[in-house]
Amino acid sequence: MKKKMLILPALMSIMALFLSGCEPLMIFDPKGPNAKTLSNTIILSIIVMAFILLVVYLLLANMLLKYRASKLPSDYEPPHEEGSTKLEIIWTVIPILIVTALSIVTISTTTKVESQQTGYDNTKPLVIYAASSNWKWHFSYPEEGVETVNYVNIPTDRPVEFRLYSFGPITSFWIPQLAGQKYAMSDMVNKLHMAADVEGSFFGRNSNFNGKGFAQMEFEAQTMSQQKFDEWVSDVKAKEPELTEKTFNELLDTDFVGRKSFSSTHLTFSPAPEMHHGKSSDMSDDAEEMDGMDMSDGEMDHSNH
């Protein structure tokens, strides 16, 4: 009986190993405050669920041992039993308490990661428009006046605000070690906040299946110091060509491309859709802000750093 009881947990462990793809679980190796908050919430949920499973398995084992048929005579007839009000209250209240507790934690976590990170209240966030197309990612830096394809560079110790949308089907923008995932859609802009604590190269991808090129829709997110980031922007503006509307349309029509850099963005001739409360604002706020930006020099105010 004891051997049989060990089979189920063993099978579950094997299944978990195969489902993980034998790759490191990057969500448990956070490199930013947003990712750390999400990782802690996931770990707490796993601990709670593991405890629940342990209690259920112990109760199941007790029932199987205590009430197995071999202990009773062949002519045994079980007595008629009425339901236990006490037990019914217990097994109803306990799940309610568990769900309530996890709901409070989830709401608190969601509220925290949906806003700018604590500690950066007086620091201007870096705005990056991340647009997906079949099957690639376009990263536009409106303040710096540069654009990249299939890679994004981010300064450390500074809040970053990604504005997500799509030129095709719905995709999901995800850098596991820096933030959670959020959808990119064709008729609206979703905002994703994050910050990086350390310098490094991190894996990013589309986590929403969107067709034959889904597996190749990956990108590199490289974090670096503000000084190195400014040097990179200057280098791109000095050495890379401008992004014309013709070149951009060719990129959209091409299924797979490598890493590319441009010294201007597509936002000047193909602006992002902006939505407020479900109704198009024709980029009312952000268009005014973008019009006031000098796309030529890419100068930024880093006085808070």
Q: Does residue 293 carry a pLDDT above 60?
A: no
Lowest mean pLDDT among 7-21, 47-61, 150-164: 7-21
The pLDDT assigned to 121 comes to 76
SS3 252: helix
Convert the pLDDT of each residue in 71-92 to its tens digit.
667 787 877 777 889 989 999 9
Q: Does residue 302 carry a pLDDT above 50?
A: no
* Domain spans, the chain: 21-68+86-114, 126-291
Q: Residue 123 — pLDDT band, cuts 50, 70, 90?
A: confident
| Residues 286/140, Cβ–Cβ less than 8 Å | no
Cα separation, 167 vs 183, in Å, equals 13
Cα separation, 24 vs 103, in Å, equals 28
Convert the pLDDT of each residue in 217-239 to its tens digit.
999 999 999 999 999 999 999 99
Q: Considering only CA atoms, which of 190, 182, 195 is closest in space to residue 164?
A: 190
The pLDDT assigned to 284 comes to 41
The pLDDT assigned to 78 comes to 74
Q: Does residue 195 carry a pLDDT above 70?
A: yes
The pLDDT assigned to 93 comes to 97
Q: List the CATH code of the domain at 126-291.
A: 2.60.40.420
Q: Does residue 50 carry a pLDDT above 80?
A: yes
Q: What is the mean pLDDT of the chain?
A: 85
% of the chain residues with pLDDT over 90: 69
